[in-house]
Amino acid sequence: MNLSRMERKMDHIRLALETGQSNRTGLDDIRFVHQSIPETSLDSVSLETKIGELVLSSPIFINAMTGGGGERTLDINRRLAQVAKETGIGLAVGSQMAALKNNEERPTFEVVREENPNGIIFGNLGSEANVDQARAAVDMIQADGLQIHLNVVQELTMPEGDRNFRGMLTRIERIVNQVNVPVIAKETGFGISKESVEALFSVGVSAVDVSGFGGTNFAVIENQRRTNTYSFFESWGNPTAASIIEANEKSAGRPIIASGGIQSSLDVAKCLALGASAVALAGRMLRSLTEHGQEYLITEVAQLNDDLKVIMTALGKTSVEELKTAPLIISGDTWHWLNERGINTKKYSQR
């Protein structure tokens, strides 16, 4: 890996922290229908969930962020892995392509398995990857699953990014058929449509991570690295709430992962009720780690889990699967989006 690639990795971390998140996820348009007689108890609530055959003790996990940027990213990944081990949650690394191109960057990824030998860890590559690279990425960290990220808008905005996206689905299908772990197709902050979800599941991916608009905005980040900005991409994308529902329309019961600007346990509960099996946080985790330290983040994750159990108790739901049946009201821009897309929102309010 040359210096410019390393600098780019560090730029992404710095700019992600500086730009923050827009919080335009659409989750404010979602409200639970209160249950006055929930007929449940806090001690009966379980947070266990599944992504395909993988069993997670909590639906919350740390989403792909970094790696391949030298000592700074090694330190971040080491501490994130320690947090994941202490709290028992899953962890995804950032794109491993840097380490496949330069062995010196391998330790920035390998550290997560060294620190968390028995945890659930997801590898990560872009859709340009081939089968040999996918196998190498899995082997590098003994990954339990592999994220293939879809980042067309980021690449187009990135000054040195890709411009050719032919054959993405075919490459993903080859990887699905020839690696021995579940493959998760993951957007990168611009959300996903029901048509894309249908196409991805048709080639055999195990799960789809919607990574909706409203969280870390890579168009904003990459525009700060350009001389002539593509400002039209800064408000581009499908909001997180709408993306989850669109994905759920075509999932046929297969796992949907919610991400994109998730800030609170209430956000997590809403995502699960809309149909997600797990909820991934990146920006909030990175900010807490860098500004307050890993002990603070460990406490924060524990609090998120505890608060989620309290919310589920109030709704009378004792499992993630039961939470998917909680009645809720969809209003505002999210209702308008779904209505225009031909999705009946009443089935969520009257279940």
pLDDT reading at 188 higher than 90: yes
C-alpha span between 112 and 66 (Å, rounded): 11
| Contact criterion met (CB below 8 Å) for 265 and 308 | yes
Mean pLDDT, residues 5-32 taken together:
67
How large is the average pLDDT for residues 90-104? 95
- Strand ranges in 189-323 using DSSP code E only, listed in sequence order: 207-209, 256-258, 278-281
Whole domain around residue 11: which residue ranges? Answer: 3-349
Cα-to-chain-centroid distance, residue 106: 23
CA dist list (Å): 342 to 153, 339, 345: 25, 5, 9
On the question of pLDDT at 92 being above 50, the answer is yes
> Taking a C-beta distance cutoff of 8 angstroms, is the pair 91, 147 a contact?
no
pLDDT at 23: 72
| Closest listed residue to residue 294, CA positions, set 79, 45, 121 | 79
Over 70: is that where the pLDDT of 321 sits?
Answer: yes
Strand partners, 185: 148, 208
Does the pLDDT of residue 7 top 70, yes or no? no
Other beta carbons within 10 angstroms of residue 324's beta carbon come to 16
Tell me how far apart the alpha carbons of residues 76 and 84 are, in angstroms, rounded to a whole number.
Answer: 12
Give percent of the chain with pLDDT exceeding 70: 94
Helix axes 332-340, 240-249, angle to 10 degrees: 30
CB 212 within 8 A of CB 247: no
Q: Is the pLDDT of residue 2 over 70?
A: no
Residue 42 clears pLDDT 60, i.e. is over it: yes
b/e per residue, 193-209, with b = 16+ CB within 10 A? bbebbbbbbebebbbbb
3 state SS of 335: helix
Closest CA to 56 of 81, 19, 26, 84: 84
**To which H or E segment does residue 147 belong?**
strand 145-150
Q: Residue 3's pLDDT band (boundaries 50, 70, 90)?
A: very low
> What is the average per-residue pLDDT within 309-333?
98
Work out the mean pLDDT of the chain and round it to a whole number: 93
Q: How many domains does the chain have?
A: 1
Mean pLDDT of 196-218: 96
Residue 12's pLDDT is 52
Answer yes or no: are the C-beta atoms of 341 and 246 closer than 8 Å: yes
pLDDT in tens, 116-129: 999 999 999 999 99
> 86: domain CATH number?
3.20.20.70
- Cα distance between residue 43 and residue 288, in whole Å: 29
Report the distance separating Cα 206 and Cα 110, nearest Å: 24
Average pLDDT over residues 190-219: 96
The pTM score is 0.93
Element (H, E) at 329: strand 328-330
The tokens for 272 are 């699960």
What H or E segment, with its residue span, contains residue 55?
strand 54-56
**pLDDT-based confidence at 240, cuts 50/70/90?**
very high
**Dihedral pair phi/psi, residue 287, rounded to 5°:** -65, -45
Under the banding of pLDDT at 50, 70 and 90, the label for residue 1 is very low
CA atoms of 81 and 323, how far apart (whole Å): 28
